[in-house]
Structure 1
């Protein structure tokens, strides 16, 4: 049986850990099992403990102290060490077959937009451990307040999509924090963005960069790949279930499940 894994990506502060814990909480409520795999050598568990923790192999704090490296250099060292010890990851994953593994990734997006670190791990999980994978890229909803920031976030999401070559779900997180400022209609134009329309708001951009802005808008429009699902973590608007249904679809989770035993045949009366 193939395994199912979800890589949760996005810049620091986008709400990745909250999202991971939200998925596991929802799965427990509906009787499904999932496990957290921490790939951030500087992270500590929040609501749920890590089933697999990279810090059991290597810690960013130890690397910074012993190697006299900064946070970014230390993080790259940690992942290079992991790539040289993928057998440790194989042993930790073990026999998790029909359960979800949620991979909580670091907030340094260069690991999956510039460096071939996560792509190498992705290929190993697919080819050696028979994983069906998808990526969930979180972008904080505050990015839509400034169109230039939104373009930047959209480009980083598109870069991750191209580099990882995985089924990809983009999520606009913390939507509950901007409900008072944006109506559903206003928010909708960012969930399925028209880059050319957004770029026409010349008053929001420095005129010196108008050509660059239009060039970026045309690039995003040409690819036509980036759409977002809203993530509302408030009690009134919690939509983890909807996002999980998308993840199930792209990972083909239901198709990988063992067929259930048929119910007992209905007994018919002799007169029937």
Structure 2
């Protein structure tokens, strides 16, 4: 079994991409299952095979412990970690070729609490990778782009997984997409764009972060994806294959 985690900021399209990847792999002959790790989600665009909501109930937690929504989400994620054996048993019974893991909308609850890292490490799998979603609507300015790039790098450090960076909602940012992709592959272009938008402390801070990301090998480019049309999924699957299957592509 190969495991693919889907992470990103709230509203970046994690669940939609989960659905698109599920359909893509299934149409190409792979046996795929989806694990939902978000205890607070109300509806999903896919059929969930393993669902943490079967183990924790946000409303019950709020009432039992007199917590607000945020406090209940924190407790729920910690309780989920305690159910890892049950979750793993469910996954083992299904025994898919690929397990796609849709992570919680509040990325800080998953990536920065010990329970999230624990789940990543203790889901048994032959290979694992993470897809980080750059929300296209959030990265249309160079300073915002660097901010999300810093977050993506931080998440990669926290999860300790090989990571593929994608930009979503490409159908909404067609006029900016070419420029954004240039930022992701040519750091000089990005730094020049920052100089036109920011000055003083903002320019200094942003460019220093950018250079640090360059030293960390960030400049690997983004894969553009449209969750509406499915455009870009072939390129994403190719990147996944290079990590998970040593380059053996899923046949079309």
Same fold (TM over 0.5): yes
Measure the CA separation in 1 of the matches of 2:42 and 2:6.
16
1:198 is matched with which residue? 190
Structure 1 pair 131/45, CA: closer, same or farther in 2 (3 Å)?
farther
Residues 1:191 and 1:96: Cα distance change in structure 2 (over 3 Å): farther
Relative to structure 1, the CA distance from residue 222 to residue 160 in structure 2 (aligned partners, 3 Å threshold; closer, same or farther) is same
Pairwise CA distance, 1:39: 0.1
| Residue ranges of structure 1 left out of the alignment (5+ in a row) | 258-272
Q: Which residue does 1:111 correspond to in 2? A: 109
Instruction: Report if the CA contact (8 A) 2:33-2:96 is conserved.
Output: no
1:252 paired with 2:245, answer: yes
Do the aligned partners of 2:109 and 2:116 also contact (CA within 8 Å) in 1? yes
2:160 to 160, 165, 169: 165
Cα RMSD of the aligned pairs, angstroms, is 2.3
Q: Distance in 1 between matches of 2:142 and 2:134?
A: 13
Greater helix content: 2
Alignment check: 8 A CA contact 1:134 1:167 kept: yes
- Partner secondary structure for residue 6 of structure 2: strand
The answer for the alignment partner of 1:50 in structure 2 is 48
- 1:233-248 equivalent positions in 2, closer than 5 A: 233-235=227-229, 238-248=231-241
Indicate if the aligned counterparts of 2:139 and 2:148 stay in contact, CA closer than 8 A.
Answer: no
Residues 74-127 of structure 1: per-residue CA shift (max 9 Å, x gap):
2221121122222211221123435211100012121354322222112112xx
- Give the number of aligned pairs: 247
Task: Tell me if the contact between 2:33 and 2:100 (Cα under 8 Å) persists in the aligned partners.
Answer: yes
| Separation (CA, whole Å) in 1 of partners of 2:60 and 2:246 | 38
Consecutive unaligned residues of structure 2, counting only runs of 5 or more, are none
**Cα deviation digits, residues 18-61 of structure 1 (max 9, x gap):** 00000111222222221111000011343321100000000223
Q: d(CA) in 1 for partners of 2:43 and 2:22?
A: 13
Choose which of 146, 151, 157 in structure 2 pairs with 1:151: 146
The residue that corresponds to 1:135 in the other structure is 130
Aligned to 1:35: 33
Taking the aligned partners of 1:211 and 1:254, their CA distance within structure 2 comes to 40
* C-alpha separation in 2, matches of 1:79 and 1:112: 7
Distance of 1:249 and 1:163 partners within structure 2: 22
Determine helix, strand or coil for the equivalent of 1:95: helix
| Residues in 2 aligned to 1:183 and 1:163: alpha-carbon distance in whole angstroms | 28
Residue 210 (str. 1) matches residue 208 (str. 2): no
Mapped contact 1:112–1:164 kept (Cα < 8 A): no
Are 2:166 and 1:174 equivalent residues in the alignment? no
Larger radius of gyration: 1
Judged with a 3 Å threshold, the aligned counterparts in structure 2 of structure 1 residues 105 and 134 are, in CA distance, closer, same or farther, namely same
Q: d(CA) in 2 for partners of 1:240 and 1:193?
A: 23
